[in-house]
Amino acid sequence: MIITFTPNPSVDRTVEVDGLVRGAVLRATATRVDPGGKGVNVSRALAAAGCKTRAVLPSGGSEGLQLGALLEIEGIDVVPVPIDGAIRANVTVVEPDGTTTKLNELGPDISADEAAALVAAVEAAVTGPVDWVACCGSLPRGLADDFYADLVRTLAGSGARVCVDSSGAPLLAALDAGPDLLKPNAEELAEAAGHPIRTLGDAVAAAEALRARGVGAVLASLGADGALLVDADGAHHGEATVLNPRSTVGAGDALLAGFLAGGGAGPHALREALAWGAAAVSLPGSRMPTPADLDHSSVRLHPSVDSNRNLEGQSS
């Protein structure tokens, strides 16, 4: 069982257009509405692959009801925590070459009582054999920057490994709490390490610096440059070919889901991560891949990391 916790979930509307022109009236070529939020997407990808998952999240407003209904359709075990405010409704605009423009709302303002209820719900969800708790996404207003860090410490001794996938101050605060896995993109990795990431060697050095602070392993999504895993056994890098990119929304979440489903450690898990992430890029909107969408033959794991290789792709 893999638990996901998404403190700032959303309902995501994706609109595909022939080209994004500022100030113009555009006609959509396709639209879709999906459950949103990084942890929600991880659970969706896991559920689509037949993996046991439970999604803990706040629920409020008409958007909360809509999100619950959408997740029920996908057969996900949801633990909704009632809040007074409404969860987010986000809009994503996708162009034919896969270029993605996102408009994300701030999300609700969480009270102290609601914050305590969220923590209690996560603790209660970690019952029976739980492999991972994935704490994912931005924090809504009202939650302190060290919310994830405190949650990592709270879950210590629960028997479940804990992953953090966030950015900014919440990510930085979580470093010293000792999460078992950190899942940044290249920009977030650079921010956490405090120096630019221009080459794979820079990325490895940054990941090792985070491990020196107590992080068990770092899985960095590097967009077109693939993904990098740095753990106690060293560094592993790989890529996956995407012939027809549709949308990068949720690709990093699918990558994390594939890694956790693949065992959460080592090259085999990295291979799964790359296959799942590439499949998500090939799908419209924030649709998560099913096993039928995966193409493991497109994945290339390199026998060694080319430290001098420049990173040119955009992070996902």
**Which CATH number does the domain housing residue 229 bear?**
3.40.1190.20
Using an 8 Å Cβ cutoff, are 226 and 237 in contact?
yes
In angstroms, the Cα distances linking 165 to 151, 243, 246, 286 are 13, 27, 23, 17
State the total domains in the chain.
1
Q: How far is CA 58 from CA 11, 65, 84, 147, 192, in A?
A: 13, 11, 10, 15, 27
**Residue numbers of the domain that contains 167:** 2-301
Tell me if 307 is assigned to some domain.
Answer: no
Is there a domain that residue 179 lies in? yes
Is-contact 30 56, C-beta < 8 A?
Answer: no
Cα-to-chain-centroid distance, residue 295: 20
**End-to-end CA, the chain:** 26
Residue 308 lies in a domain: no
Is 12 catalytic? The answer is no
* pLDDT given at position 314: 39
DSSP states of 248-271: -TTHHHHHHHHHHHTTSSHHHHHH
Q: Is residue 314 part of a domain?
A: no
Q: What is the pLDDT of residue 315?
A: 39
Looking up tokens 């493991």 gives: 296
Catalytic choice (202, 253, 293, 306): 253
Classify residue 134: in a domain, yes or no: yes
**Cα gap 50→42, rounded to integer Å:** 13
Any idea what DSSP says for residue 114? Answer: H
Q: Do the domain assignments include residue 313?
A: no
What are the angstrom distances between the C-alpha of 184 and each of 38, 82, 191, 240?
12, 29, 10, 18
Q: Per-residue pLDDT for the chain (316 aa), expressed as one digit of tens each?
A: 999 999 999 999 999 999 999 999 999 999 989 899 999 999 999 999 999 999 999 999 999 999 999 999 998 999 999 999 999 999 989 899 878 898 989 889 999 999 999 999 999 999 889 999 999 999 999 999 999 999 999 999 899 999 999 999 999 999 999 999 999 999 999 999 898 999 999 999 999 999 999 999 999 999 889 999 999 999 999 999 888 888 787 899 999 999 999 999 999 999 999 999 999 998 887 789 989 999 999 999 998 899 999 997 533 4
In a domain, 31, yes or no: yes
Question: Could you give the C-alpha distances from 310 to 44, 198, 200, 202, in angstroms and in order?
Answer: 33, 6, 7, 9
CA–CA separation, 38 and 5 (whole Å): 9
Q: Determine, yes or no, domain membership for 306.
A: no
The pLDDT score that the predictor gives to residue 297 is 93
Kindly report the pTM of this predicted structure: 0.91
Taking the C-alpha atoms of residue 187 and residue 18, their distance in angstroms, rounded to an integer, is: 28
CA distance linking residue 238 with residue 267, whole number of Å: 9
For 139, which DSSP code? P
Alpha-carbon gap, residue 307 to 98, rounded angstroms? 28
